[in-house]
């Protein structure tokens, strides 16, 4: 057998990386440059040339899927048994090491690993045992505090609380640590921390593994956090060779603790003379890569590389400017149909967005068009936990006898109604043959639980009274606020996205009201009476249930892929749509207030661009429903960072006022300087008006026509606001 057959087909930089001598090296592997091939071929080459045996290699990945793929490729290249090789995730390898040295790690031999839900349950038990109010000190926030400090390598004794709130959480952390040790359990963050501590204090063990693993290979190095890097440095002895593969331009997980600066530190601390750049891309056409290179060049803190391809330039990037988010979704649906007609499988088409909340409008359009789709790495909009909770409150407003809705929210957010109390209430309901609501009103259990149930009944009754006679959108908005769901999710580390989704539910109600909706519960699907809010609410709830349950792509069915830009990392598709490219959305408005936040957003856009092989669509909307109001948008600044020659504008909406440049953010000039009209009603500059939410004001500007007509009003209390006449409900003063 030719010992070098495994090197066949490698390009020059790949070959250089694979055949490096026994030294540490940093491999800058651009998107689509074959980094997995380089990693696995490096391992195979080390083994085949006798530099190391299979048991002397450690390869670290971030997902079990990546680890399995590496082992499969090695097996295909070499006639060896890979089962005993140390190839796995950080957590998997730490678990393996701790199992082998459980005594030295002060763990029972059969220690159990807590998943996230198990960990939260234990945190709650510890807090209850210590008499902490879980409303004042939310358990999820305590869980995040514990994990964040573990990821930073800090035990409770080393945590320096900034205030009384953090001091309480430090006490919870300390009590939680003791309870875990007592029960012989560890959480995911503990696996890495415990392993790091073991190697730090046990020199004999540390030197044993340093001698054994002379070659350590790390995938996705840009995603390592502080503790993971410290663990790697402990394992790497004087004679160890660390082969770090990563792409600082694709570091998009700072919110999870990833430190892109680890790559620069590695280059310095390991004195790497070898920094090899893998820049030839085997995925995308040239125009896509040129756009990605131009965009990412605006980031200052990067190691630098430039993707290129031997393929042709391909098609220009298609840019679509929509008048509204609904029009944007309609365009995407039409293009998906065209791609399908060209023979492109739906599974090879991805629809990307910055925020999960954006998927609701897109899903609605796909649902209406009968196009099957899957939400990758997440739930469809109406299946998300926070949405189902909000819908359960709405179902109780519409029908108090709905036991399923009652059970879902009677103790969510937590209000001191435990499982035993609910079981007691269910028994009362069975005995009297009534609903849970009726039992709660007429025969509630005694004691504290009974008082809590009575308070819940008052809450629902109060919300039902408050929304009586309101239009659908305001019913949903009122119930979302009154349920305290937003207050609950504000205490979660990643609760901001759930709150965005709740706001999007309000938008969904507004959009639903604006359509010609039909109530499936009425004979022959009669149209909903717009003057009967309860009828509209029932129709909306039926609509939500249908969209949650219909058009779900079955296993093996060809389906469009919907996902956030974060979820798309590591994937590739024939065609990619990047939607919602507007200032404040992508880049996200939060990034402007964070250190290096804009650079991270740009890296995320770079990831999104480089997912496409052949065709790339960039879409944005002049107006978008956010927080129950129409928001008018400027195109994302990223358009200004992409070479105009690479982009093809596929439309120039008539709704845009003359002189308005969406890419530069130039101020629009009113298409009609004095008046606009909607549904036959004229509105003029200088006219006094009133708005149900903002009060009295004066129209100071107006533009557009028909359903795109809008006015700018200077309100006495709320100041200047642009309002779409289709939704604004203005009245002349």
DSSP secondary structure letters along 654-699 = TTSPTT--TTTTPPPPPSSSSEEEETTEEEETT-EEEETTTEEEEE
Residue with tokens 């098609």: 315
Beta strands in 128-197 (DSSP E): 185-187
- In which element (H, E) is residue 44 found? helix 35-48
Q: How far apart are CA 479 and CA 524, in angstroms?
A: 30
Residue among 221, 260, 252, 278 nearest 37 (CA): 278
Neighbours of 684 (CB within 10 A): 13
Q: Under a CB-based contact definition with an 8 Å cutoff, are residues 168 and 174 in contact?
A: no
DSSP 3-state assignment of 302?
coil
- 3-state SS class at 251: coil
Any catalytic annotation for residue 220? yes
> CB–CB of 26/274 below 8 Å?
yes
Long-range contacts: 694-697, Cβ < 8 Å, 24+?
Answer: 694/718, 694/721, 696/733
Say which residues have a Cβ less than 8 Å from residue 22's Cβ, sequence separation at least 6: 51, 214, 215, 241
673 classed as catalytic? no
Which runs of E-coded beta strand occur in 47-85?
57-61
Give the separation between CA 690 and CA 711, rounded to whole angstroms: 13
State phi, psi for 63 to the nearest 5 degrees: -135, 150
CA distance 635 to 322: 11
Burial class of residue 4, CB neighbours in 10 A (0-12, 13-18, 19+)? exposed
Output the six-digit token pair for 249.
């331009």
Residue 99 CA to residue 623 CA, distance in Å, equals 56
List 171, 187, 219, 386, catalytic entry: 219
Q: How many CB atoms lie within 10 A of CB 297?
A: 14
- Tell me which residue has tokens 């389906």: 559
Distance of CA 676 to the CA centre of its chain: 40
| Element of type H or E holding 622 | strand 612-626
Q: Is 278 helix (H, G, I), strand (E, B) or coil?
A: strand
440, 453 contact by CB (below 8 A)? yes
Alpha helices (H) along 550-630:
597-609
Residue 358 is a catalytic residue: no
| Residue 415 designated active-site | no
Question: Among all chains, which residue has been given the structure tokens 């030197």?
Answer: 207
CA angle 217, 602, 627 (to 5 degrees): 125
DSSP SS3 for 731: strand
CA distances from 119 to 159, 172, 229, 641 (A): 20, 13, 25, 44
Give yes or no for a contact between 324 and 622, defined as CB atoms under 8 angstroms apart: yes
Q: Residues 218, 244: contact at Cβ < 8 Å?
A: yes
Alpha-carbon distance of 650 to 645, in angstroms, equals: 14
Catalytic residue among 42, 150, 354, 611: 611
What residue spans of 445-524 are helical by DSSP H? 447-467, 472-482, 485-489, 495-514
Residue positions counted in the chain? 733
Compute CA distances 593 → 248, 273, 300, 365, whole Å.
22, 37, 18, 33
> What is the token pair recorded at 177?
């640590």
Q: Which two tokens stand for residue 126?
A: 């510890």
Rounded to the nearest 5 degrees, what angle is found at the Cα of 301, between the Cα atoms of 295 and 306? Answer: 45
Mapped onto helix, strand or coil, the DSSP state of residue 379 is: coil
Determine which one of 151, 171, 220, 386 is catalytic: 220
219 is catalytic: yes
Residue 35 annotated in active site? yes
Taking the C-alpha atoms of residue 467 and residue 570, their distance in angstroms, rounded to an integer, is: 47
Active site residues per annotation: 35-36, 219-220, 250, 611
């Amino acid at each position: 057998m030719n010992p070098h057959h495994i090197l066949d087909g490698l390009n020059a930089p790949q070959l250089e990386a694979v055949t490096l001598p026994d030294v540490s090296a940093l491999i800058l592997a651009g998107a689509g440059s074959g980094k997995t091939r380089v990693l696995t071929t490096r391992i195979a080459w080390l083994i085949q040339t006798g530099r190391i045996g299979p048991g002397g290699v450690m390869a670290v990945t971030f997902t079990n899927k990546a680890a399995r793929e590496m082992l499969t490729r090695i097996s295909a290249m070499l006639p060896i048994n890979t089962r005993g090789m140390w190839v796995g995730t950080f957590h998997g390898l730490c678990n393996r090491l701790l199992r082998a040295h459980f005594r030295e790690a002060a763990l029972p031999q059969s220690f159990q690993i807590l998943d996230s839900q198990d960990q939260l349950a234990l945190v709650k038990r510890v807090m209850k045992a210590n008499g902490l109010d879980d409303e004042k000190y939310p358990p999820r926030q305590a869980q995040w505090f514990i994990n964040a400090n573990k990821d930073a390598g800090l035990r409770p004794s080393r945590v320096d609380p900034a205030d009384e709130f953090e001091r309480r959480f430090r006490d919870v952390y300390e009590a939680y640590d003791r309870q875990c040790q007592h029960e012989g359990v560890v959480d995911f963050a503990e696996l890495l921390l415990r392993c790091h501590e073991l190697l730090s204090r046990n020199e004999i063990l540390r030197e044993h593994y340093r001698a054994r693993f002379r070659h350590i290979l790390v995938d996705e190095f840009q995603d390592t956090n502080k503790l993971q890097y410290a663990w790697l440095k402990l394992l790497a002895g004087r004679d160890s060779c660390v082969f770090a593969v990563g792409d600082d331009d694709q570091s998009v997980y700072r919110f999870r603790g990833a430190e892109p600066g680890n790559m620069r530190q590695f280059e310095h601390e390991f004195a790497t003379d070898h920094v090899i750049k893998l820049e030839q891309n085997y995925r995308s056409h040239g125009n896509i890569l040129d756009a990605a290179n131009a965009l990412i060049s605006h980031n200052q803190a990067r190691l630098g590389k430039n993707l290129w391809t031997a393929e042709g330039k391909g098609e220009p990037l298609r840019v679509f400017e929509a008048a509204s988010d609904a029009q944007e979704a309609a365009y995407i649906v039409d293009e998906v149909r065209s791609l399908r007609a060209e023979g492109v499988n739906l599974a090879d088409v991805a629809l990307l967005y910055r925020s999960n909340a954006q998927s609701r409008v897109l899903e609605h359009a796909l649902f209406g068009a009968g196009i099957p789709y899957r939400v990758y790495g997440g739930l469809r909009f109406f299946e998300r936990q926070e949405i189902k909770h909000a819908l359960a409150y709405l179902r109780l407003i519409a029908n108090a006898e709905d036991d399923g809705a009652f059970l879902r929210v009677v103790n969510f957010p937590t209000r001191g109604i435990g499982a035993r109390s609910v079981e007691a209430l269910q028994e009362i309901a069975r005995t009297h043959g009534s609903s849970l609501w009726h039992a709660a009103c007429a025969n509630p259990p005694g004691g504290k639980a009974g008082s809590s149930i009575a308070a819940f009944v008052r809450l629902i009754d109060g919300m039902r009274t408050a929304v009586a006679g309101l239009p659908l959108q305001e019913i949903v908005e009122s119930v979302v606020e009154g349920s305290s769901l937003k207050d609950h999710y504000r205490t979660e580390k990643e609760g901001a996205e759930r709150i965005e989704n709740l706001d999007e539910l309000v938008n969904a109600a507004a959009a639903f009201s604006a359509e010609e909706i039909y109530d499936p519960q009425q004979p022959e699907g009669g149209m909903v009476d717009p003057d009967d809010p309860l009828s509209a609410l029932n129709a909306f709830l039926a609509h939500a249930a249908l969209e949650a349950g219909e058009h779900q792509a079955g296993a093996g069915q060809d389906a469009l892929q919907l996902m956030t830009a974060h979820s798309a990392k590591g994937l590739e598709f024939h065609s990619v749509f990047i939607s919602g490219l507007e200032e404040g959305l992508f880049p996200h408005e939060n990034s402007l207030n964070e250190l290096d936040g804009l650079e991270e957003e740009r890296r995320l856009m770079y990831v999104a661009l480089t997912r496409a092989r052949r065709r790339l669509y960039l879409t944005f909307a002049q107006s978008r429903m956010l927080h129950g109001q129409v928001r008018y948008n400027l195109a994302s600044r990223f358009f200004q960072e992409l070479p105009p020659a690479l982009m093809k504008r596929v439309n120039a909406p008539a709704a845009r006022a003359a002189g308005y440049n969406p890419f530069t953010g130039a101020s629009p000039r009113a298409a009609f300087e004095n008046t606009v009209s909607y549904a036959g009603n004229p509105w003029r500059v200088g006219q006094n008006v009133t708005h149900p939410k903002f009060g009295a004001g004066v129209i100071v500007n107006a533009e557009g026509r028909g359903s795109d007509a809008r006015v700018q009003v200077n309100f006495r209390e709320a100041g200047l606001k642009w309002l779409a006449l289709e939704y604004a409900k203005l009245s002349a003063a």
